[in-house]
Amino acid sequence: MKVGLELHRLIDTQKLFCKCYYKKENLEEVHQIGYPSINRSMKYYTSKNYCEYEIDQVPAQLNEKILQKAVRVVNQIPGVKLVPQIIFSRKKILDNSLPSGYQITGLLAYGGTIDLGHKKVQIDKIYLEQDSCSVDKDGYKVDRLGLPLIQLTTLPLELQSWEVVLLLKKIEYYLNYHRNLPINEFCRRQDINVSIEGHERVEIKGVTSLS
């Protein structure tokens, strides 16, 4: 059985493309945004003192402080190589979880090795990207929208379930080496790709805890 990970780790509670912070409060203001291409509109819930970036009214402006923190975080991984210049691009999102209709993401680093003691796992790529909205009963909440995520992918390797847990713990150790990353109910999410010879690859999405 070969396993490849796609891990998403929250690195700060200040947002990536504005200076706002995550606000855990009642979100009651409703903004209706129409999407002509799919002939429907979606509801987005904000606080009364919402940021215009949250509802796609102003352009993204990179938060340099968050970029510098992301560089420090990934630089703790042994053998990782930072790109000389990060170039952000837009990735189209079809589930309406971002009011703009796309996610901003950029390649931050590549390579690196996680040593499990008895075998080594190779890292493929590491991206810096914005989080999406959280789902509400009849729309989306913008509380998490724009929070900075490290997306880390590993190359497929034959792993047992206990080795996957060990790998995730090792990655968390390196990313949170300075003990300054947020710890909350949505700080970590991982997608697990499982391949068994003779069968189609299966992706297990949104795993928040492994034990």
Q: What separation in angstroms does the CA of 199 have from each of 175, 194, 195, 208?
A: 33, 10, 7, 25
- Supply the pTM of this predicted model: 0.88
With bands split at pLDDT 50, 70 and 90, how would you rate the model's confidence at 179?
confident
Q: Give 67-85 pLDDT, tens digit per residue.
A: 999 999 999 999 999 999 9
Phi and psi based region of residue 206 (left: phi greater than 0; alpha: psi -120 to 50; beta: remaining): left
Inform me whether the pLDDT recorded for 198 exceeds 70: yes
Q: In this structure, are residues 144 and 134 in contact, taking their beta carbons and an 8 Å threshold?
A: yes
43 vs 193: which has the higher pLDDT: 193
DSSP three-state, residue 168: helix
Dihedral of the alpha carbons of 173, 135, 207, 76, in degrees to the nearest 10: -20
What number of other Cβ atoms are within 10 A of residue 126's Cβ? 25
The whole-chain average pLDDT of the chain stands at: 86
Q: What is the structure's pLDDT at 97? A: 83
Inform me whether the pLDDT recorded for 49 exceeds 70: no
117 vs 33: which has the higher pLDDT: 117
What number of other Cβ atoms are within 10 A of residue 146's Cβ? 24
Q: Give 140-165 pLDDT, tens digit per residue.
A: 888 888 999 999 999 999 999 899 99
Q: What is the structure's pLDDT at 186? A: 76
Q: Measured between alpha carbons, how far is 16 from 13 in angstroms, rounded to an integer?
A: 9
Q: Measured between alpha carbons, how far is 211 from 163 in angstroms, rounded to an integer?
A: 11
In degrees and rounded to multiples of 5, residue 164 shows phi and psi of -65, -45
Q: What is the structure's pLDDT at 28? A: 62
Alpha carbon 118 to chain centroid, angstroms? 29
Q: What is the structure's pLDDT at 21? A: 86
Question: Rounded to a whole number, what is the largest CA-CA distance in the chain?
Answer: 54
What number is the average pLDDT over the span 112-132?
96
Q: Measured between alpha carbons, how far is 53 from 42 in angstroms, rounded to an integer?
A: 17
Nearest alpha carbon to residue 54 among 149, 147, 181: 147
Residue type, 194: V
Q: What angle do CA 168, 144, 52 make, to 5 degrees?
A: 150
Q: What is the structure's pLDDT at 145? A: 85
